[in-house]
Structure 1
Amino acid sequence: MKLKPETSDKLPEKTTTPLGFLVLILLSGGAALIYQILWMRQLGLVFGNTAQAAAMTLGLFFLGLACGSSFWGWLSPRIKRPLRTYAWLELGIGLSGVLCLPLLHLYREIYPALYGQFADSWLWLIKALLALVMVFPGSFLMGGTIPLMGKFLVRERLAFGRITASIYGINTLGAATGAFAAAFIILPNLGFRLSCLTAVSISVLVALLALRLARRERIAAPDQLPPVSPQAEASKAILSRPFICLLAFFSGFNVLALEVLWTRMFALVHENSVYSFAAILVVVLLALAAGAWLASLLARKSRGPVPILHLLCALSGLSVWIVPTLFLKLTDDLQMLPEKGSFVSYVLQLFATAFGAIGLPCLLLGVLFPFLMKAEERFAQSPGKSIGLLAGINTTGAILGSLICGFFMLETLGMWRSMQVLAAVYLLLTLLLPAAGNLLAQSVKVASAILLLLLFNAWKPAELPVSAFDPADGPQEVVERWEASDSTVTVVRKANGEHAIRINSNYSLGSSEAYMTQIFQTRVPLLAFPNTKSIFYLGMGTGITAGEALDRRDFPQVERITVCELSPEVITAARKYFGGSPGRPDLVNGLFKDPRATVLAEDGRNYLMASKERYDMINADLFLPYRSGTGNLYSLEHYRTARERLNPGGVYVQWLPLYQLSQQEFGVIARTMLEAFEYVSIWRNHFQPGNEVVALIGHIDEKPIPSSNIDTSQEQLRAVQGARAIDLPRVVLPVNEQTIPLFYAGNLSNSRDRFEMYPLNTDDRPIIEFNAPRSLRQPQEAGRPHFVGKKFAAFIDHILADTPPASDPLLSDRKASIRELPLAGAAFHRAWIAFADQDIEALEHHWKDFIEHWLATTQN
C-alpha cells in the first residue's frame, strides 16, 4: 500500500518560517497594538488623562506581557501541540477584547461611587485593580504567543537565534502596522467599538488560521532540542546566562526609556495631535522591526555572538549620543515643523524627521535583544522556555524603564541629560562584556572607554536648548522651566515685560499680555448670570480667568470656586509668576490664598464624572481642539456628565478659540452641545476680527437671562459721543450687567436645523480629535479654513435672523430697548472687520448700523 507523505512540523532549516506562519505572527502583532491603544484611550477616559494614569495602564499591560511570556515559556516544554495552544491563546485574546466593552461600561458606573470614598493612595490601588482586570488577561495571553510560536518553529538549536529574531521582527512589523492603522484609519473611521471588534476579528482570524496550520502537527514538538555538536560549541565565544539576562533587561529598560524621551523631544516641534504621537510610535516600531530582521541575518552569518554584541552595545551608545545633535540640526534648533501645506505633506515631513533623527538608533537598539537569542542557543534546551524567560526579563526592564524615566529621570535630570545617561549605559555594558580573547571585542572595549570619557567631558547637555519659540512672536527670555513627566512647562518674559506660560515650547496657556481676554472668560458669563454663587473651572492656565471670579467688588455673590488643572507644574508656574509673589503683581485676585478657592491638580473631566459636587456654573477654558487628549472635553458623554453637576438654573460655559477651529469642528461641537442641553446660546469674548473667541453656553432650562435695573444710559452715550467710524479703535464701551447682551450672539436652540448635518462627537467616535488636524491643514492655495472674520459674522447674521432678539425667549426678561444690544454687537463686529480690511465704505455702513442700535438701548 502506498502511503501519502506524512506532513511534519519539523521544518527544514531553510523553510523555518513559511508564509503562513509569518502572516500569523504579523496579524497577531498588529492586533496587539490596536488593543493596547484602545485600552489606554478608554481607561484614560475613566481614570483621567494624567501621566500617572497612562503610566499605570501601560505598566499593567506590559506586566501582563512579562508574566505571560514567563508563564507560557515555562509551560511550553509540556505542551505537545504548541500551534494549537497558540490558536486557543488568540481566541482568548479576542474574548478579552469583547469583554472590555461591558467592563468599560461597568467601570463608568461604579467609579464615581468609589471616588471620594477612599484616600488617594487607596483610590490609586482601586484604579490599578480595575485596570488590571481590564488589560491583564489579554496581555497575559499575548505574552504567550511568541514563546509558543518559537516552540513550534524552532527544531534545531543552531537555528534558535535566527528564527526567534525573525519572529520578533515580523511581530514588531505587525505592531507598527497596527499602530498606523489604529491612528490613521480604523479609529477615525470606525470609532472605538467597531475598532475593538476589528481587533477581535483579527484575533479570531489568526486563531482559525493557526488551527488550520495545526493540522501539520502530526509529530509532537520535542520537549528539548538536540544538543549542539562539540565542534559547533567550541567555535562559539561563551556568554554566561546571567549576563544574557542582564543584557535582556537593559535592552528593554533603555528602549522604553528612550521612547519616552524621544516622544517628549518631538513634542517640542509638532502640534501634539493624536497623529503626531502615532507617527513617532510607528517610526520606532518599524526601526525595531528592521533591527530584528538584521539580528536574524547576523545570527545566520555569525559563529560567535560576543564580538557582535560588543559592536552592537558600543554603536547603540554612540547613536543615542548623537540623537540630540541630529534632532537640533533637522529642526533648526527646535523650530516648529511648518504648518503650511496639506495634512498628508505634514505627516510625511513628520515621518521623515523622525526617521532622520532616531531611525538609526532605533535600528541598532532593535538588533540587540533579538540577537541575544544567538547567545542563548547553547542554553536553549526548550525554545519556548528560553524565549519566555528572556522576553519576560526584557519586558520587565521595559516597565521599569518607562516609569523611572518618566517620573524620575525627566524631572531630576532633564531630557538631554537622561539621554546622556542611557547612552552611557550601553557603553558600560560594552566594557562589562567578556572579550574572550577576541581582538575585535577588545578593540571595541577601548573605543567604548574613550567614548564614555568624551560623553561626560566633551558633551554638555545643560547647554542644549530644550525649548524654542516662534520668531514672529518677538524675543522671549526663558525665566524658569520645569521638565515634568507629561510635558515641559516654561515661563517666558517677552520684550514688553509680560509673562507667559508655555507647554512644550509651542502651546501657550496664556499670558499677562492677554489679560483682558482671560478675565472676560469670567466676566461675560458672570455678568449675564449674576446669581451665580459656585463655579467649577475646567482648566486653569495662568489662573487669571478663575481669579477674576474672586473680585469682591464686582462679584460679591461668589462663594465657592473649584479649579482643575491637569499639570501640577502649570499650577506652580501660575502661583509663582501670576499669583502675587514678592516683586510681582497679583493678577489672580488671591486665587491661591482665598479660602473660597480650591485649586486641584486633576483631570477636570474625570473630577466632574467622579465627584458629586454641584455648581451654578461650569466654565471650560479654551482647549486646542486637535491637541491629543483634549477632544474628549468636547464629547457628548462629558457634556451630559457636566449637565448632571449643575444646580437648577445652572449653565455650562464652553469657550472656543475660533482661530483654531474650522466651521466643521464648530458645527460638530455645537451639535453635540445641543444634544446634551435643552438650550444653547452663543456669546462673544471680544470683537477683534481674526482671533475671535466665543462661548457656547448650555442651559438646562429655558430660564431667561436675569434682568437688570441699573441705568447705564449716560455711560453709553458718553462712550460714543462725537466718535466717528474712523475712531473705532479708541471707542471703549461700558460692560456691565445692563450692557452684557452686547456680547450675546444668538440662540442656537432655535436654529437646530442648521446643525443636523454635523455628526456628534462622542467617546466612541472622537471626531474632533481625529478630524481637526486634517481639516485645519488645507492646501496653501485654498486659504486657511478658520471660522473667523466674515465667515463667523455671516453665521451670526443667520442665527439672529432665525431668532430675532426682540422675540428671543432667553432675552424675555430684558426691556425691549435692551434687546437691541445683540444687533449692536453684530454691527460692531462687522465694523471691526471692515476696519481691519481697510474697507472705508463698509466701515461707515456698519458703524452707522451700530450707532443706531446702541443709542436705541439708551431710551426708556
Structure 2
Amino acid sequence: MHASTAEALPQPAIRLQSDALRLLLLTLFVLSGFSALIYQSIWTHYLGLMLGHAAYAQTLVLIMFMGGMALGSWWVSRHTLQIRRLVGCYAAVEAAIGLLGLIFHPLFNAVANWNLEQALPAIGSPGLAATWQWASAAALIAPQTVLLGATFPLIAAGVLRAFPGAGTSAQLGGLYFTNGIGAALGALAATFLLLPAVGMQGALQVAGVMNLLLAAATAWTSGALREGSQPLPGAADANEPSIAPSAELPRLRRALLWATFGSSAASFGYEIGWVRLLNQALGTTLHGFELMLASFIAGLALGGLWVQRRGPRIGDPVRYAGYVQVAMGVAALLSVPVLAGSYAWAGWLVGSLTPSDGGYTLYSLATAFTAMVVMLPAAFFAGMTLPLFTAALLREGGSERAVGQVYAANTLGAIAGVVLAVHLLVPQIGVVLSLLVAATVDVLIGLVLLRRFGPPEWTFGSGLAALGSLGVLTLVLVAGLPNPLHQAAGVFRSGLNPARLGELVYFKDGSTATISVRAQGDGLNIATNGKPDAGMNPLHKAPSPDEITMLMLGSLPLAAHPAPRKIALIGWGSGLSTHTVLGSRRPERVDTIEIEPAMIEGARSFHPRNVRAYKDPRSHIRIEDARKFLAVQGEAYDVIVSEPSNPWVSGVSSLFTQEFYRLVRRQLSTDGVLVQWIHTYEMSDALLAQMLAALIQQFPNSEVYQANAGDLVVLAHKGRRHGLNAHPWEEPELASELQRVGLGSRNDLEARRLGGPALLRTFVRQFNAPIHSDFWPTVALQAPAERFKRQTALTMGRAALAGAPLLRVLDCREPLAEAEPVLQVSGADSVGIAYRQARLARRALLSRERDAQLPELNPSLATDIDALLAQRSGLVRFDARQAQAQLNTLALATFGQLDRPGLQELWNEAFWGRGTEWQPDQATQTLLRLFGTVSRSDWAAAHAAAQSLVSGPNSGLQASARDLVLTLGLLSLAAQGDLSGASAWHDRHRQHYIHPEWRGLADFTLTWARHEPRCQPAK
C-alpha cells in the first residue's frame, strides 16, 4: 500500500485493514505449524529406516528438530534489529523450507544407498559406522530445522513491529496458540490422512507445496505492511510507553532463560514418561503416538491462547509465571494417578467396544481423550510459560532479541530433557519416578521465581504453593503410583482381568521399552510394553504355542542349510530360538540382535531352558537395531532368522518391507536362507499378503510352514533349495527338546510345509497386494485396527489343511504316508492335530471299534463316525440331512491329510455300498460317488457328480455339504486344465457359498489356475 493511499483512508478503515493483515499472518502461522509437524512426523519414519528402532529415530528427530530450531532462533535473535523486513525474511525462510522438503526424498535415498553400498562397508567398525549413520541422518534434516527455528522469532518480531497497538503478551500468546494448533493438526494429518493417501514422499511434497504457497502469501503481506519503510522499535509492550532497559534486565534475563531451559527439559521429560505409560495402557502403535503428541501440542497451544486473552491484564508476568510453573508441576504429579487408573479404563474399553471399524474409531477417540486428560493440564501451563517469559523481558526494556533468546533456551531445554529422560533417568530409576522428578523440577523453578522476584518473605500464595506441592507429591508416592502388574498385563489386547494377572517375576523400564516377565499358572511369559513376546510351560506340561514356533525357527534352518556356520537371529524374546540353534555343533558363530538390554536380562527368568543362549561361547549378543547392524556387517551369514515383535508395534513393520529384505539378501551367502516368522492372528489376509509380497520380491524361491494355529514360518532361499536333512536330530539333547514340541523327525517339518513359491505367489495375487515398502508404511497404519478387530489371516492355512484337497491338486502336494509318523503333542499344533485326527478317523471307520482302540479321536468327529456306522449297520434309521453333514465332516477331516491309498480305501464306493440296511437317497449316493472320484483323482467323473448335486434346488444336496461340493466342482475343472469352464463355474456359483471362507478358497483356486502351470502328478 502506498503512503498517499494510507493517508487518504479514514482511521477506522486503516484499523480494519491492519486487523485483517494481522489475522492473515496468524492464519498463515497456523499453516506454518501444520507443515512443521508434518516434517517432524515424516522425518521420524525416514530416519528410523537409517537409524533403526523408532524410539531412536524419535529421539534424534526431536533433538535435531529442537536443536536446529534453537540455532535458528538464536541466529535471528542476534540479527533481528538489523533486519528491516522481518515478515519478508520470514517468507523467504518458508520458501527455502518448502524447496528442501520437495527434494528430501531423493536426497535421502541417495545418502542412504551410498551409506549402505559405499560408506558403511568401508568404515568397517560398528561403532564408527553407527556414528556415521547418526551424523548423516542429522545432516539430512539440519538445514530445514535451522530454518524452522528462525520462523517463530521472525514472525513474532515482525508482528510486534507491525502492530504495536495490540499488546506484547496478547501478540505472543496469539502466535504461540496459532502455531501450536497448526502443529497439533499437522501431527494428526500426517498419520491419519497423508501417510495412508500419498505415502511418506507424498506427505513431504504436500508440506513443501504448502510452504511455498505460504511464502507467497506472506511475501504479499509484507508488501501490504510496507515493511522497510517503518522505523525500528526500541522495545517494550505497546500498551506502555517505550522504556530504556532497566538495571534489573540482565539478572532477569539470566534467570528467565535458565527457567525456560529447565521448564522445557521437564516438559519433555513428562512427554517421554506419558508416552511410555500410555503405550502400556493403549498399545504401542503409530496412531497412538501421534494422538499423544497432538494432545501435548494442543495443551501448549491452549496455554498460549490463555496468555493472549489475559496477557494485557497480567501486572507481574514473572510472578504469574512462577505460579504457572508450580501449577504445571502439580498437574504433572496428578497425571500419575490418572495414568494408574488408565489401565482399568483401557481394559474396560477393550471389553466393551465391538471389534469393528466403528469400534476402533471409538477406541481411537477414547485414546485421544485419555491422552488429553493425562497431558493437557500440564501442557496447558507449559504453553503459558514462553509468552510470559518473553513478555517479562520486553516489559523490562528487552529488545526483539528476547523472543529468539527465550525460544532458543526453550529448545535447548527440550533437547536436554529428551536425552536425560531416555538415556539416564528412565533406565536408572524407571518411567514413573522420572516423571515425578520432572514434575518436582517444575515446582522448584516456580518457587525460585516466586522467592527471587517476589516479596522477600514468604507470602500466603507462595507458601501455599510450596506446601500444596509437597502434599500432592507425598500423596502420589503413597497412593497414586501405577500397579506394575497392570502395566505388564497388555490391557489393550485382552482387558484387565484380575484373575489372569499372575505374578510379576521381572519388571524393568529400559531405554526403549518396558520389559516384564509374569508367571501365569505354571508358565512364564515375557512382554514388551505389555505385549507378550514369548511364553514357555514347564517341561512336565504340554508345550505352549510359542515353544513350538521358537524351536521350529531354530531347527528349520539347521535342517534346510547343508552347512550353517554363521547365523544371525533378529529378536531375543525368551532366548529359546538362539538356544535351539546352538543345540547343533554345526554353527560356528551365532549373533543375536536385540534392541533392548532389559529383554536379555528379563529372559534369564527362563533358565535353564535357554541356557545355551547365555553360556555357549559361540553365542554373541548384539545390543543394536537389526537394520543398522546388518548394514555394517562385512561378512555374510549363512542363515538369518527374523523373529521381531508384531508388525503393528510402532517401528517393527520396517522389518517386513522390500527394502529390509533387500538388505537381508545382500547379507546372505550364496546359498544362504532367511527364516522369517510372521503371525496370522490379529491380521487380515490382505495385510499379510502385502508383507509376503515384499518378501517374495527379493526371495522368489520361498516356501511356507505352519508352526501352530497362529504362526507361519517362511523359509526363503537366496539360491537353490536344498532338501531337509536330519542334522537337528543328530544331537541327542536337541532331539529331545524337539521331540517334546512335536518336531520329532524330519517328517514333522515336512508335514508342516504348506507350500512353495506358487502358493505364496497365488496368495499375493488373490488379494492384489501391493509390495510393502519403507516409504508407504501401510502395515503400521492398518495393523493396529486389524488387531483391535481381532481379524485372522486364515486363507493360506485353509488352502493346505481344508477338506478340499486344493494343494494336492494345484501344487502336487501329497500328505505323508500313514507309515511315516507325525507327532501331535499340543492342542496348539494345528498341523499335527489334522494329521493325527485324519489317521484316527480312518482307522475308526474301517475298524468299527473306535471306543476301545481310539480314545484320542476328537469327540465331535467321533460322534459323527459313530452315527455313520450306526446308520450303515441299520441301528438307526437313515437320515439324509444328518448323513450328508457327517460325510462332509469326515471328508473335511481326511482329504487334506490322508495319503492316496488311505483316501481310496476310506472312500471306496464298494465299502459304502455294503450292508443291507444302508439305503442312502440319490443325493447322498452321488455325494459318496463325488468323494470316491476325488480320492482317485478321476476329475471328469468328479465334475459330473458335483454338477449333478448343484444342478437344481431339488437335487437333494443338504446345506451342510454345499460349500465343499461347490469347491470340488471348481477344483475338478482346474485339475483338467479347463480354465474357461472353471471361470464360468466360479461366476455362476460364487454367491451360493454359505460360509465366506469357502468363497475365499474358491477365489484362491481360480487365481492359482489362471496364473500357475497345471500340476502334473508323478506317475
Question: Which category describes the TM-score, using the shorter chain as reference length?
Answer: 0.7 to 0.9
What is the Cα deviation at residue 151 of structure 1?
1.9
Name the structure 2 match of 1:279.
291
Name the structure 1 match of 2:153.
147
Correspondent of 2:53 among 49, 56, 65 = 49
What is the Cα deviation at residue 510 of structure 1?
3.6
Q: Aligned partners of 2:194, 2:657: CA distance in 1, in Å?
A: 19
Matched, 1:129 2:151: no
Correspondent of 1:265 among 274, 277, 281 = 277
Matched, 1:322 2:334: yes
The alpha-carbon distance between structure 1 residues 407 and 751, as it changes in their structure 2 partners (threshold 3 A), is closer
Name the structure 2 match of 1:676.
698
1:588-667 aligned at under 5 Å gives the runs 588-621=610-643, 623-667=645-689
What is the root-mean-square deviation in Å for CA atoms of aligned residues?
Answer: 3.9
Q: Aligned partners of 1:324, 1:606: CA distance in 2, in Å?
A: 35
Q: Aligned partners of 1:268, 1:452: CA distance in 2, in Å?
A: 27
Name the structure 2 match of 1:720.
none
Name the structure 2 match of 1:26.
30
What is the Cα deviation at residue 595 of structure 1?
2.2
Name the structure 2 match of 1:740.
749
What is the Cα deviation at residue 530 of structure 1?
5.0
Q: Deviations over 1:667-703 (max 9, x none)?
A: 11222222111222111113xxxx4211122222343
Correspondent of 1:489 among 506, 511, 515 = 515
SS in structure 1 opposite 2:302? helix
Name the structure 2 match of 1:214.
222
SS in structure 2 opposite 1:625? coil
Counterpart amino acid of residue 363 in structure 2: Y
Q: Aligned partners of 1:762, 1:332: CA distance in 2, in Å?
A: 37
Q: Aligned partners of 2:427, 2:684: CA distance in 1, in Å?
A: 37
Q: Deviations over 1:179-236 (max 9, x none)?
A: 00011110122111111111111111111111121211424254333656888989x9
What is the Cα deviation at residue 48 of structure 1?
1.6
Name the structure 2 match of 1:476.
502
Correspondent of 2:171 among 163, 171, 184 = 163
Identical residues among aligned pairs (%)? 22
Task: Structure 2: state its 5+ residue gaps.
Answer: 490-495, 538-543, 731-738, 824-828, 842-856, 865-887, 904-1019
The alpha-carbon distance between structure 1 residues 573 and 395, as it changes in their structure 2 partners (threshold 3 A), is same
Correspondent of 1:577 among 605, 616, 620 = 605
Q: Aligned partners of 1:309, 1:707: CA distance in 2, in Å?
A: 73
Q: Aligned partners of 2:440, 2:840: CA distance in 1, in Å?
A: 58
Residue range with higher mean Cα deviation, 502-511 or 64-73: 502-511
Name the structure 2 match of 1:524.
556
Matched, 1:35 2:39: yes
The alpha-carbon distance between structure 1 residues 50 and 196, as it changes in their structure 2 partners (threshold 3 A), is closer
- Contact 2:52–2:625, Cα closer than 8 Å, also in 1: yes
Counterpart amino acid of residue 4 in structure 1: T
Name the structure 1 match of 2:597.
568
Correspondent of 2:234 among 225, 230, 234 = 225
Q: Deviations over 1:240-276 (max 9, x none)?
A: 2222222221221121111111001101111211001
Correspondent of 2:470 among 433, 453, 460 = 453
- Contact 2:44–2:54, Cα closer than 8 Å, also in 1: no
TM-score (norm 2): 0.73
SS in structure 1 opposite 2:28? helix
SS in structure 1 opposite 2:344? coil
SS in structure 2 opposite 1:684? strand
The alpha-carbon distance between structure 1 residues 386 and 829, as it changes in their structure 2 partners (threshold 3 A), is farther
Correspondent of 1:443 among 442, 460, 485 = 460
SS in structure 2 opposite 1:685? strand
Q: Aligned partners of 1:804, 1:817: CA distance in 2, in Å?
A: 20
The alpha-carbon distance between structure 1 residues 640 and 591, as it changes in their structure 2 partners (threshold 3 A), is same
What is the Cα deviation at residue 535 of structure 1?
2.0
Name the structure 2 match of 1:767.
778
Q: Deviations over 1:291-325 (max 9, x none)?
A: 11011112133233244223312221221111111
Name the structure 1 match of 2:721.
703
Counterpart amino acid of residue 681 in structure 1: E
SS in structure 2 opposite 1:144? helix
What is the Cα deviation at residue 362 of structure 1?
1.6
1:784-795 aligned at under 5 Å gives the runs 784-787=791-794, 793-794=801-802
Name the structure 1 match of 2:483.
465
Counterpart amino acid of residue 525 in structure 2: A
| Equivalences, count | 814
SS in structure 1 opposite 2:671? strand
TM-score (norm 1): 0.86
What is the Cα deviation at residue 820 of structure 1?
12
1:232-631 aligned at under 5 Å gives the runs 240-332=252-344, 335=347, 338=350, 340-341=353-354, 342-379=359-396, 381-383=398-400, 385-434=401-450, 442-455=459-472, 457-460=474-477, 464-468=482-486, 469=489, 470-471=496-497, 474-496=500-522, 498-512=523-537, 513=544, 514-529=546-561, 531-551=563-583, 555-574=584-603, 576-578=604-606, 580=607, 586-621=608-643, 623-631=645-653
Q: Aligned partners of 1:792, 1:115: CA distance in 2, in Å?
A: 43
Correspondent of 1:828 among 827, 835, 849 = 835
The alpha-carbon distance between structure 1 residues 710 and 15, as it changes in their structure 2 partners (threshold 3 A), is closer
- Contact 1:90–1:206, Cα closer than 8 Å, also in 2: yes
The alpha-carbon distance between structure 1 residues 732 and 283, as it changes in their structure 2 partners (threshold 3 A), is closer
What is the Cα deviation at residue 794 of structure 1?
4.6
Counterpart amino acid of residue 6 in structure 2: P
SS in structure 1 opposite 2:46? helix
Q: Aligned partners of 1:2, 1:145: CA distance in 2, in Å?
A: 28
Q: Aligned partners of 1:521, 1:794: CA distance in 2, in Å?
A: 25
Name the structure 2 match of 1:718.
none
Counterpart amino acid of residue 623 in structure 1: S
Q: Aligned partners of 2:294, 2:830: CA distance in 1, in Å?
A: 52
What is the Cα deviation at residue 596 of structure 1?
1.9
The alpha-carbon distance between structure 1 residues 611 and 679, as it changes in their structure 2 partners (threshold 3 A), is same
The alpha-carbon distance between structure 1 residues 755 and 737, as it changes in their structure 2 partners (threshold 3 A), is same
- Contact 1:30–1:174, Cα closer than 8 Å, also in 2: yes
Q: Aligned partners of 1:34, 1:2: CA distance in 2, in Å?
A: 40
- Contact 1:298–1:371, Cα closer than 8 Å, also in 2: no
Bigger RCO (CA 8 Å, 6+ sep): 1
Q: Aligned partners of 1:731, 1:133: CA distance in 2, in Å?
A: 53
Counterpart amino acid of residue 199 in structure 2: G
Residue range with higher mean Cα deviation, 790-799 or 167-176: 790-799
Name the structure 2 match of 1:101.
105
- Contact 1:420–1:455, Cα closer than 8 Å, also in 2: no
- Contact 2:799–2:807, Cα closer than 8 Å, also in 1: no
What is the Cα deviation at residue 466 of structure 1?
3.5
- Of structures 1 and 2, the larger Rg is shown by 2
Q: Deviations over 1:305-346 (max 9, x none)?
A: 244223312221221111111222343287485174332111
The alpha-carbon distance between structure 1 residues 707 and 324, as it changes in their structure 2 partners (threshold 3 A), is closer
Q: Aligned partners of 1:633, 1:623: CA distance in 2, in Å?
A: 9
What is the Cα deviation at residue 493 of structure 1?
2.3
Matched, 1:204 2:212: yes
The alpha-carbon distance between structure 1 residues 856 and 558, as it changes in their structure 2 partners (threshold 3 A), is farther
Q: Deviations over 1:8-36 (max 9, x none)?
A: 99978983873311221011111111111
Q: Aligned partners of 1:394, 1:41: CA distance in 2, in Å?
A: 25
SS in structure 1 opposite 2:612? coil
What is the Cα deviation at residue 467 of structure 1?
4.3
